[in-house]
Structure 1
């Protein structure tokens, strides 16, 4: 049985769908205030948790520890630089078949998945190589 969403959850979900990008809870708070829809930060975190458990939003945790939230629209895959924090989207998905197998074998309802590789972007590799020469 589906639980009914609160007004705060509906506002947040609508904003995430409108923005069509990943955003932090703090930035959501600012966006909502700018739209004259003040919601307390604690309420935003509770709403995000409920929406995540419902499977309608996804969370991505950056190397810095910051969490970014977005509406579930498609799988997200990234190359993330540990030095500058740049995140490069990957369009290919090598794990769709694995997802199907896991769902069938474990009878586990999968809402979405993420795939992220961590390392150094080309620019940071050049900077690191220049520093090692000195």
Structure 2
């Protein structure tokens, strides 16, 4: 059964479909204003939370604390530099089998997972 969504949630879903990478709640707010789809920032956060609980939106928190939202898609994993903030995608998923096992053993519906390694990129290692 599909959940009934608010107009705000539908607008955010449509926006997220058009962006290729994660976007902050503030940037969603600004982009919706640019599209003449005004909505309060608190409504953006409430809508994102509802969509996250529905398993449609995922959030990735960067090293600086910024939260980036995107549609749930194939799991994305990253190497993130703590100094310059560069984020390098990792294409293979070393925990996919574990996710399947956990869903079965704990009867837990997993919408997505994230895996992020933090350290220093080549450039930042050289400059130290």
> For this structure pair, what is the TM-score category when the shorter chain's length is used for normalisation?
over 0.9
Gaps of at least 5 residues in structure 2 are none
RMSD across aligned C-alpha pairs, in angstroms? 0.9
Distance 1:101 1:35 in 2: 43
* TM-score (normalised: structure 2): 0.97
- Which structure has greater helix proportion? 1
- The within-5 A match list for 1:54-133 is 54-128=54-128
Shift of 1:54: 0.3
Larger Rg: 1 or 2?
Answer: 1
Q: Map 1:11-90; keep pairs closer than 5 Å.
A: 11-90=11-90
Q: What number of residue pairs does the alignment pair up?
A: 128
Question: Cα distance, 1:18 vs. partner?
Answer: 1.2
Unaligned runs of 5+ in 1: 129-134
Partner of 1:131: none
TM-score (norm 1): 0.93
* Secondary structure at 1:124 match in 2: helix
